[in-house]
Chains A and B, each alone.
Chain A
Amino acid sequence: DAKTTQPTSMDCAEGRAANLPCNHSTISGNEYVYWYRQIHSQGPQYIIHGLKNNETNEMASLIITEDRKSSTLILPHATLRDTAVYYCIVRVGIGTGNQFYFGTGTSLTVIP
């Protein structure tokens, strides 16, 4: 599975959009981009995933560059409850070897 690179930490003002970048320059054509977050003392929570196209759900939007070497997770209106560590992961979607390899993620702090 491809490795990902994320900034160690970021701050965002409450109510503003939080844009979390991720580089995955060695991603393969059959690897998806996943985002999870982990609020302190809890297990990771799925946010969103995508392959090529931009995706949006009730939690966030995922913007994947055309060459798929990087992506951005967007929380459109950050709240204090969005303070968490955000993990960007790439992996093959279906089949054998479906492990997730989590890095250290980005620690997002939403500031009142």
Chain B
Amino acid sequence: GAGVSQSPSNKVTEKGKDVELRCDPISGHTALYWYRQRLGQGLEFLIYFQGNSAPDKSGLPSDRFSAERTGESVSTLTIQRTQQEDSAVYLCASSLVLEQFFGPGTRLTVL
């Protein structure tokens, strides 16, 4: 079946602009995660959604970052007033029980 998909695959934006990144999880997966990976570094947890529970936002680096998920479907990660340090690959993953399935990521470049 279809895996986790993300769009766009690449996004180039100017400093100060807002961006929206989309994640389509695997159908039926109750959990959804967002991560950030800067060049040459490991994955950095951002936010976690589990069913209808309140999301765990403990990894969001600033109030410019927010994410939404409607039910157990699509999620969007929004970065407001982007900065150059926001340049990274943003990865989304979904899971049903234990194993996480990752999407291909969105490469964000802030000029």
Contacts and interface: CB of A to CB of B under 8 A. Distances in A.
Contact of B35 (A32, A97, A102): A102
Interface stretch (A14-22, A37-45, A64-72, A75-83): A37-45
Given A43-B91, A43-B102, A44-B102, A87 B43 contact: yes
Given A32-B98, A49-B99, A105-B42, A98 B50 contact: yes
Interface of A: 32, 36, 42-46, 49, 85, 87, 93-94, 96-105
Given A42-B104, A98-B95, A99-B56, 12 more contacts: A32-B98, A43-B104, A49-B98, A49-B99, A96-B56, A98-B31, A99-B33, A99-B59, A100-B45, A101-B45, A102-B35, A102-B45
11 contacts: A36-B100, A43-B91, A43-B93, A43-B104, A44-B91, A46-B101, A85-B42, A100-B35, A100-B43, A102-B35, A102-B42
Interface of B: 4, 31, 33, 35, 41-45, 48, 50, 53, 56, 58-59, 91, 93, 95, 97-105
